[in-house]
Amino acid sequence: MALSRYNEIRNFKQSPEPEGKLSKKNLFRFVIQRHEARRLHYDFRLELEGVLKSWAVPKGPSLNPSDKRLAMMVEDHPVTYIGFEGEIAEGNYGAGMVTIWDKGTFFPVNEKHEKITEQQALENLKNGQLKFDMQGEKVNGEFVLIKLKGDQKANSWLLIKHRDQYAVDGYDSENYLSATKATKEPTLSKKLKSSKTILRNNSRPKKFDKFHKPMLATLVDEPFDDKDWVFEIKWDGFRAVAEWQKGKVKLYSRNGLSFMERYPTIVDAIKKLKQDCVIDGEIVLMDEENKPSFQKLQQYEDNTHLPLIYYVFDIFFSKGKI
Protein backbone atom coordinates (compact mmCIF):
# COMPACT_ATOMS: atom_id res chain seq x y z
CA MET A 1 0.00 0.00 0.00
CA ALA A 2 1.18 3.56 -0.67
CA LEU A 3 0.98 6.44 1.80
CA SER A 4 -1.52 8.16 -0.47
CA ARG A 5 -4.31 6.20 1.23
CA TYR A 6 -2.98 7.16 4.68
CA ASN A 7 -2.96 10.87 3.73
CA GLU A 8 -6.29 10.70 1.93
CA ILE A 9 -8.34 9.60 4.94
CA ARG A 10 -6.83 12.08 7.46
CA ASN A 11 -7.23 15.78 8.10
CA PHE A 12 -3.87 16.91 9.46
CA LYS A 13 -5.30 20.26 10.52
CA GLN A 14 -7.37 18.37 13.07
CA SER A 15 -5.38 15.18 13.65
CA PRO A 16 -2.12 15.17 15.66
CA GLU A 17 -0.82 12.28 13.53
CA PRO A 18 2.28 12.87 11.37
CA GLU A 19 1.76 13.50 7.67
CA GLY A 20 2.72 10.59 5.44
CA LYS A 21 6.17 10.72 3.84
CA LEU A 22 8.28 7.82 2.62
CA SER A 23 11.49 7.04 4.51
CA LYS A 24 14.73 6.69 2.53
CA LYS A 25 16.20 3.89 4.66
CA ASN A 26 14.90 0.98 6.67
CA LEU A 27 16.07 0.36 10.25
CA PHE A 28 13.85 -2.70 10.86
CA ARG A 29 11.96 -1.20 13.78
CA PHE A 30 8.53 -2.10 15.09
CA VAL A 31 5.91 -0.45 17.26
CA ILE A 32 2.76 -1.80 18.89
CA GLN A 33 0.26 0.91 19.83
CA ARG A 34 -2.72 0.48 22.12
CA HIS A 35 -5.59 2.23 20.36
CA GLU A 36 -8.73 3.09 22.34
CA ALA A 37 -10.90 3.82 19.31
CA ARG A 38 -14.55 2.84 18.83
CA ARG A 39 -13.31 -0.58 19.86
CA LEU A 40 -10.09 -1.19 21.75
CA HIS A 41 -7.41 -2.83 19.60
CA TYR A 42 -3.65 -2.92 19.12
CA ASP A 43 -1.91 -1.53 16.03
CA PHE A 44 0.98 -3.79 15.01
CA ARG A 45 3.53 -2.11 12.70
CA LEU A 46 6.73 -3.34 11.03
CA GLU A 47 9.17 -1.02 9.25
CA LEU A 48 9.59 -2.27 5.67
CA GLU A 49 9.90 -0.62 2.25
CA GLY A 50 10.15 2.90 3.68
CA VAL A 51 6.83 2.67 5.56
CA LEU A 52 5.24 0.87 8.50
CA LYS A 53 3.35 -2.20 7.27
CA SER A 54 0.38 -2.19 9.62
CA TRP A 55 -2.22 -4.55 11.07
CA ALA A 56 -5.03 -3.96 13.56
CA VAL A 57 -5.01 -6.77 16.14
CA PRO A 58 -8.28 -6.75 18.17
CA LYS A 59 -6.97 -8.77 21.13
CA GLY A 60 -3.34 -7.67 20.86
CA PRO A 61 -0.28 -9.84 20.18
CA SER A 62 0.07 -12.98 22.28
CA LEU A 63 3.16 -14.77 23.57
CA ASN A 64 1.16 -18.01 23.68
CA PRO A 65 1.81 -20.12 20.54
CA SER A 66 -1.66 -21.64 20.91
CA ASP A 67 -3.26 -18.25 20.29
CA LYS A 68 -3.94 -17.39 16.67
CA ARG A 69 -4.67 -13.68 16.82
CA LEU A 70 -6.68 -12.13 14.01
CA ALA A 71 -4.75 -9.25 12.40
CA MET A 72 -6.47 -7.03 9.85
CA MET A 73 -4.01 -5.42 7.43
CA VAL A 74 -4.65 -1.68 7.09
CA GLU A 75 -3.07 1.16 5.13
CA ASP A 76 0.68 1.70 5.33
CA HIS A 77 1.72 4.31 7.89
CA PRO A 78 4.74 6.65 7.76
CA VAL A 79 7.85 5.59 9.69
CA THR A 80 7.49 8.70 11.88
CA TYR A 81 4.37 7.05 13.33
CA ILE A 82 6.71 4.89 15.44
CA GLY A 83 6.85 7.59 18.11
CA PHE A 84 3.26 8.77 17.87
CA GLU A 85 1.14 9.00 21.00
CA GLY A 86 -1.88 11.25 21.48
CA GLU A 87 -5.61 11.63 21.18
CA ILE A 88 -7.23 11.71 17.75
CA ALA A 89 -10.26 14.00 18.06
CA GLU A 90 -13.84 12.89 17.50
CA GLY A 91 -14.97 13.07 13.89
CA ASN A 92 -11.54 12.04 12.60
CA TYR A 93 -10.50 8.66 11.23
CA GLY A 94 -9.39 6.42 14.11
CA ALA A 95 -10.68 8.81 16.79
CA GLY A 96 -9.47 7.84 20.26
CA MET A 97 -6.38 7.65 22.45
CA VAL A 98 -3.18 6.11 21.05
CA THR A 99 -0.35 5.04 23.38
CA ILE A 100 2.83 3.07 22.70
CA TRP A 101 2.49 -0.40 24.23
CA ASP A 102 5.84 -1.74 22.99
CA LYS A 103 8.55 -0.92 20.47
CA GLY A 104 11.94 -2.24 19.40
CA THR A 105 13.60 -3.88 16.43
CA PHE A 106 13.01 -7.02 14.39
CA PHE A 107 14.58 -9.00 11.59
CA PRO A 108 12.82 -11.22 9.02
CA VAL A 109 13.78 -14.91 8.99
CA ASN A 110 13.26 -18.00 6.85
CA GLU A 111 12.12 -21.53 7.76
CA LYS A 112 15.59 -22.28 9.19
CA HIS A 113 15.43 -19.23 11.51
CA GLU A 114 18.09 -17.55 9.38
CA LYS A 115 18.01 -13.80 8.79
CA ILE A 116 16.87 -12.81 5.30
CA THR A 117 16.97 -9.59 3.29
CA GLU A 118 14.29 -6.93 3.19
CA GLN A 119 13.54 -7.84 -0.42
CA GLN A 120 13.02 -11.49 0.52
CA ALA A 121 10.77 -10.40 3.39
CA LEU A 122 8.66 -8.28 1.04
CA GLU A 123 8.35 -11.22 -1.34
CA ASN A 124 7.25 -13.46 1.54
CA LEU A 125 4.74 -10.83 2.62
CA LYS A 126 3.38 -10.70 -0.93
CA ASN A 127 3.04 -14.51 -0.87
CA GLY A 128 1.08 -14.37 2.36
CA GLN A 129 3.52 -15.52 5.05
CA LEU A 130 6.15 -13.48 6.90
CA LYS A 131 8.32 -14.84 9.71
CA PHE A 132 10.33 -12.47 11.91
CA ASP A 133 12.21 -12.24 15.20
CA MET A 134 11.31 -9.35 17.53
CA GLN A 135 13.33 -7.64 20.25
CA GLY A 136 11.18 -5.37 22.41
CA GLU A 137 10.45 -4.66 26.03
CA LYS A 138 7.35 -6.88 26.18
CA VAL A 139 7.35 -8.82 22.92
CA ASN A 140 10.34 -10.97 22.00
CA GLY A 141 11.19 -13.96 19.87
CA GLU A 142 9.83 -15.34 16.62
CA PHE A 143 6.39 -14.65 15.18
CA VAL A 144 4.67 -15.33 11.88
CA LEU A 145 1.98 -13.43 9.98
CA ILE A 146 -0.15 -15.69 7.77
CA LYS A 147 -2.73 -14.38 5.30
CA LEU A 148 -6.03 -16.23 5.48
CA LYS A 149 -6.86 -18.12 2.30
CA GLY A 150 -9.99 -17.18 0.40
CA ASP A 151 -9.86 -13.56 1.56
CA GLN A 152 -10.49 -11.58 -1.62
CA LYS A 153 -9.35 -8.30 -0.08
CA ALA A 154 -6.22 -9.98 1.31
CA ASN A 155 -6.42 -8.05 4.57
CA SER A 156 -7.28 -10.84 7.03
CA TRP A 157 -4.16 -12.38 8.63
CA LEU A 158 -3.23 -14.42 11.69
CA LEU A 159 -0.44 -13.31 14.06
CA ILE A 160 1.08 -16.36 15.78
CA LYS A 161 3.94 -16.72 18.27
CA HIS A 162 6.50 -19.45 17.60
CA ARG A 163 7.47 -21.83 20.38
CA ASP A 164 10.77 -20.50 21.76
CA GLN A 165 12.30 -19.34 25.04
CA TYR A 166 9.98 -16.31 25.18
CA ALA A 167 6.74 -18.26 24.73
CA VAL A 168 4.24 -18.48 27.60
CA ASP A 169 1.16 -20.67 27.92
CA GLY A 170 -1.18 -18.07 29.39
CA TYR A 171 -1.36 -14.56 28.01
CA ASP A 172 -3.50 -11.42 27.95
CA SER A 173 -2.22 -8.20 26.38
CA GLU A 174 -4.49 -6.15 28.64
CA ASN A 175 -2.92 -7.70 31.73
CA TYR A 176 0.65 -8.14 30.54
CA LEU A 177 2.43 -7.99 33.90
CA SER A 178 0.28 -10.57 35.65
CA ALA A 179 0.35 -12.78 32.55
CA THR A 180 4.15 -12.89 32.48
CA LYS A 181 4.73 -12.95 36.23
CA ALA A 182 2.04 -15.46 37.21
CA THR A 183 3.50 -18.23 39.31
CA LYS A 184 3.43 -21.77 38.06
CA GLU A 185 5.64 -24.82 38.32
CA PRO A 186 8.04 -25.18 35.38
CA THR A 187 7.87 -28.26 33.21
CA LEU A 188 11.23 -30.04 33.32
CA SER A 189 12.77 -32.41 30.82
CA LYS A 190 14.88 -35.50 31.28
CA LYS A 191 17.75 -35.43 33.76
CA LEU A 192 21.30 -35.07 32.55
CA LYS A 193 24.09 -37.38 33.68
CA SER A 194 25.21 -34.64 36.08
CA SER A 195 21.70 -34.82 37.65
CA LYS A 196 21.03 -31.27 36.38
CA THR A 197 17.69 -30.49 34.75
CA ILE A 198 16.92 -28.28 31.76
CA LEU A 199 13.97 -25.99 31.30
CA ARG A 200 11.96 -26.97 28.24
CA ASN A 201 10.90 -24.43 25.62
CA ASN A 202 7.24 -24.64 26.62
CA SER A 203 7.87 -23.48 30.18
CA ARG A 204 8.21 -19.88 31.25
CA PRO A 205 11.58 -18.64 32.54
CA LYS A 206 11.37 -16.09 35.35
CA LYS A 207 12.43 -12.50 34.80
CA PHE A 208 14.90 -10.86 37.18
CA ASP A 209 13.70 -7.64 38.79
CA LYS A 210 17.14 -6.05 38.42
CA PHE A 211 19.42 -6.76 35.47
CA HIS A 212 21.95 -5.13 33.17
CA LYS A 213 20.87 -4.34 29.61
CA PRO A 214 23.62 -4.94 27.04
CA MET A 215 24.31 -2.52 24.20
CA LEU A 216 22.49 -3.60 21.02
CA ALA A 217 23.79 -3.42 17.48
CA THR A 218 22.97 -0.40 15.30
CA LEU A 219 21.97 -1.01 11.70
CA VAL A 220 23.89 0.89 9.03
CA ASP A 221 23.32 1.26 5.30
CA GLU A 222 26.49 -0.54 4.20
CA PRO A 223 29.69 -2.20 5.55
CA PHE A 224 32.62 0.04 6.43
CA ASP A 225 36.26 -0.18 7.45
CA ASP A 226 37.90 1.95 10.15
CA LYS A 227 41.21 1.60 11.98
CA ASP A 228 39.51 2.62 15.24
CA TRP A 229 36.97 -0.21 15.04
CA VAL A 230 37.37 -3.87 15.96
CA PHE A 231 35.07 -6.23 14.08
CA GLU A 232 33.80 -9.45 15.64
CA ILE A 233 32.08 -12.58 14.43
CA LYS A 234 28.27 -12.50 14.56
CA TRP A 235 27.45 -15.66 16.50
CA ASP A 236 24.07 -17.26 15.81
CA GLY A 237 22.93 -17.79 19.38
CA PHE A 238 21.29 -16.13 22.39
CA ARG A 239 22.69 -12.89 23.81
CA ALA A 240 23.36 -13.43 27.51
CA VAL A 241 24.63 -11.43 30.47
CA ALA A 242 26.41 -13.20 33.33
CA GLU A 243 26.88 -11.80 36.85
CA TRP A 244 29.07 -12.90 39.76
CA GLN A 245 28.15 -10.52 42.57
CA LYS A 246 28.93 -11.16 46.24
CA GLY A 247 28.99 -14.89 45.70
CA LYS A 248 25.69 -14.96 43.80
CA VAL A 249 25.50 -15.92 40.11
CA LYS A 250 22.98 -14.82 37.50
CA LEU A 251 22.68 -15.71 33.82
CA TYR A 252 19.95 -14.04 31.78
CA SER A 253 18.84 -12.76 28.38
CA ARG A 254 19.16 -9.15 27.25
CA ASN A 255 15.62 -8.65 28.58
CA GLY A 256 16.32 -10.13 32.00
CA LEU A 257 14.82 -13.59 31.41
CA SER A 258 16.62 -16.23 33.44
CA PHE A 259 18.87 -18.78 31.71
CA MET A 260 19.80 -20.40 35.05
CA GLU A 261 17.74 -23.58 34.67
CA ARG A 262 18.11 -23.86 30.92
CA TYR A 263 21.92 -23.72 30.70
CA PRO A 264 23.27 -25.13 34.00
CA THR A 265 26.69 -26.01 32.53
CA ILE A 266 27.33 -22.33 31.80
CA VAL A 267 26.11 -21.37 35.26
CA ASP A 268 28.59 -23.83 36.77
CA ALA A 269 31.41 -22.30 34.69
CA ILE A 270 30.52 -18.78 35.85
CA LYS A 271 30.59 -19.91 39.49
CA LYS A 272 34.27 -20.74 39.05
CA LEU A 273 35.12 -17.07 38.39
CA LYS A 274 34.81 -16.25 42.11
CA GLN A 275 35.20 -12.50 41.61
CA ASP A 276 32.72 -9.68 41.26
CA CYS A 277 32.02 -9.05 37.59
CA VAL A 278 29.33 -8.53 34.97
CA ILE A 279 30.08 -9.87 31.50
CA ASP A 280 28.28 -9.81 28.17
CA GLY A 281 28.36 -12.56 25.56
CA GLU A 282 26.54 -15.05 23.38
CA ILE A 283 25.38 -18.58 24.15
CA VAL A 284 26.12 -20.76 21.12
CA LEU A 285 25.52 -24.44 20.37
CA MET A 286 27.86 -26.13 17.89
CA ASP A 287 26.38 -28.76 15.59
CA GLU A 288 28.00 -31.99 14.37
CA GLU A 289 30.05 -29.97 11.85
CA ASN A 290 31.28 -27.59 14.58
CA LYS A 291 29.14 -24.75 13.24
CA PRO A 292 26.75 -22.60 15.30
CA SER A 293 23.18 -23.89 15.06
CA PHE A 294 20.45 -21.58 16.32
CA GLN A 295 17.78 -24.14 15.55
CA LYS A 296 19.44 -26.81 17.70
CA LEU A 297 20.04 -24.25 20.44
CA GLN A 298 16.30 -23.53 20.52
CA GLN A 299 15.78 -27.26 21.11
CA TYR A 300 18.72 -27.61 23.50
CA GLU A 301 16.97 -30.13 25.75
CA ASP A 302 17.18 -32.56 22.82
CA ASN A 303 20.78 -31.67 21.92
CA THR A 304 22.66 -31.72 25.22
CA HIS A 305 25.29 -33.98 23.65
CA LEU A 306 26.52 -31.06 21.51
CA PRO A 307 29.09 -28.48 22.70
CA LEU A 308 27.51 -25.47 24.43
CA ILE A 309 29.77 -22.40 24.49
CA TYR A 310 29.50 -18.97 26.11
CA TYR A 311 31.49 -16.52 24.01
CA VAL A 312 32.37 -13.43 26.08
CA PHE A 313 32.93 -10.20 24.15
CA ASP A 314 32.50 -7.45 26.75
CA ILE A 315 33.06 -6.80 30.46
CA PHE A 316 30.70 -4.31 32.07
CA PHE A 317 32.31 -4.48 35.49
CA SER A 318 35.22 -6.32 37.11
CA LYS A 319 36.86 -5.99 40.54
CA GLY A 320 35.28 -2.62 41.20
CA LYS A 321 36.18 -1.16 37.82
CA ILE A 322 33.83 -0.30 34.97
Give CA–CA dist 32/46, Å, rounded.
Answer: 9
- CA-nearest of 68, 70, 26, 67 to 46 is 26
Residues in the chain: 322
Cα atoms found within 13 Å of the Cα of residue 66, Cβ hemisphere only: 6
Q: Are 164 and 141 in contact (CB under 8 A)?
A: yes
- CA-nearest of 86, 26, 17 to 51 is 26
- Which residue type does 45 have? R
Give CA–CA dist 79/27, Å, rounded.
Answer: 10
**Count of helix runs (H) and strand runs (E) in the chain:** 5, 13
C-alpha torsion 138→70→80→107, nearest 10: 60
DSSP 67: -
What's the Cα-to-Cα distance from 190 to each of 56, 196, 286, 287, rounded to whole Å?
41, 9, 21, 21
Which residues, at least 6 apart from 172, have a Cβ–Cβ distance to it below 8 Å? 178, 179
- Which residue type does 111 have? E
Q: Are 268 and 274 in contact (CB under 8 A)?
A: no
By annotation, the residues acting in catalysis are 234
Cα angle value 32/34/39 (rounded, 5°): 130
